[in-house]
A and B are shown apart, each in its own frame.
Chain A
Amino acid sequence: MRLSPDDMIFWRHGFLKLNGTIVFTWALMLVLAAGSKLVTRKLSTDLERSPWQNLLEIVVTGIEKQIADVGLRNPQKYIGFLGTLFLFIALASLCTIIPGYEPPTGSLSTTAALALCVLVAVPFFGIEEQGLLGYLKSYTEPTLIMLPFNIISELSRTLALAVRLFGNMMSGTMIIAILLTITPFFFPIAMSALGLLTGMVQAYIFSILAGVYIAAATRGRKSKAEPKQPLTA
């Protein structure tokens, strides 16, 4: 049984090989890039606009609102990173309705790469927001004793991000493959519908968690000075 699209080899030449993960990732990148290029070719600010522009506007404003809800002050700055993460993972799991396709996020290499992006992005945005010293100081909050634990948590949450997404995607395809051998026709359809839901939730979770980590890194000690938000808001 195939555990991940890594084992699905399309082309091999000596050391180089083209496996399913790479091919499907490239296809998704192509779809996302070409799709947004095509839609944004002629944008209009009138009331008259193309349905595709409407769709993209809904997606972008929706993501922006979610990022703002997480607690990031100006979502415009982070939407490039967080929005891309969300769109890529969401499209990767949505495309499972296409026969013969396997989500590239079902391979640990892809999810590890995405989680490493988050690992790098968190200090990047944190240093940009509060300077190198301010950011490094946030590791010693609340006391200096917590320094090793903060560093461990930084690493372990990266691992958790990667394994969570991988496990969810892999279990989806795995369960469908197992069910196909036991109860061939009807039950796998229901499970793949459930897989679509899980995929969307995981895409949401991944980008929201990345947003939460970035928010925690950029906020720093400034939040202490601010008045507390009323609970009913």
Chain B
Amino acid sequence: MDSVTIIAVASIVTAGLTIALGSIGPALGEGRAVATALSALAQQPDAASTITRTLFVGLAMIESIAIYCFVVSMILLFANPFWNHVIAQTAGK
């Protein structure tokens, strides 16, 4: 295998693994956050606005971890620096 193929294979596999493994944690975290918020809402419906606001902010914070993984996998697929480097080198030959 030449280096272009190796980089392509590694990038594609890693991109898939990144988003697959990286979404497990945030999914569990968001599930727990929503479940707790629901039980809090059931116990104190008066505090609904505060709970909902805090929940939304918290969810976005948790979700941002999944978003980081997504950004990394997108960079690996579409803006891969190693790939561009190798392509530039082979083009220069």
Chain A residues lying within 8 Å of B70, measured Cβ to Cβ, are 167, 171
Look across to chain B and name the residue whose beta carbon is closest to the beta carbon of A167. Answer: B67
Any A CB within 8 A of the CB of B68? yes
Q: Tell me if B71 and A163 are in contact (CB < 8 A).
A: yes
The stretch from A18-26, A52-60, A200-208 touching chain B is: A200-208
**Interface size, B (range):** 10 to 19
Within the complex, the shortest CB–CB distance from A37 to chain B, in Å, comes to: 32
The stretch from B30-38, B53-61, B84-92 touching chain A is: B53-61
Q: Tell me if A170 and B60 are in contact (CB < 8 A).
A: no
Look across to chain A and name the residue whose beta carbon is closest to the beta carbon of B53. Answer: A69
Any B CB within 8 A of the CB of A164? yes
Look across to chain A and name the residue whose beta carbon is closest to the beta carbon of B79. Answer: A3
In the complex, A201 Cα to B61 Cα: how many Å? 12
Any A CB within 8 A of the CB of B4? no
Any B CB within 8 A of the CB of A209? yes
Chain B residues lying within 8 Å of A167, measured Cβ to Cβ, are 64, 67-68, 70-71
Within the complex, the shortest CB–CB distance from A223 to chain B, in Å, comes to: 18
Chain A residues lying within 8 Å of B60, measured Cβ to Cβ, are 164, 201-202, 205
Within the complex, the shortest CB–CB distance from A156 to chain B, in Å, comes to: 11
Chain B residues lying within 8 Å of A160, measured Cβ to Cβ, are 64
Q: Tell me if B67 and A171 are in contact (CB < 8 A).
A: yes
Q: Tell me if A208 and B67 are in contact (CB < 8 A).
A: no
In the complex, A60 Cα to B35 Cα: how many Å? 33
Q: Tell me if B68 and A163 are in contact (CB < 8 A).
A: yes
A69-B53, A167-B64, A167-B68 provided; 5 other pairs, C-beta below 8 A? A3-B78, A160-B64, A163-B71, A201-B56, A205-B56
List residues of A whose CB falls within 8 A of some B CB: 1, 3, 69, 160, 163-164, 166-168, 170-171, 174, 201-202, 204-205, 208-209
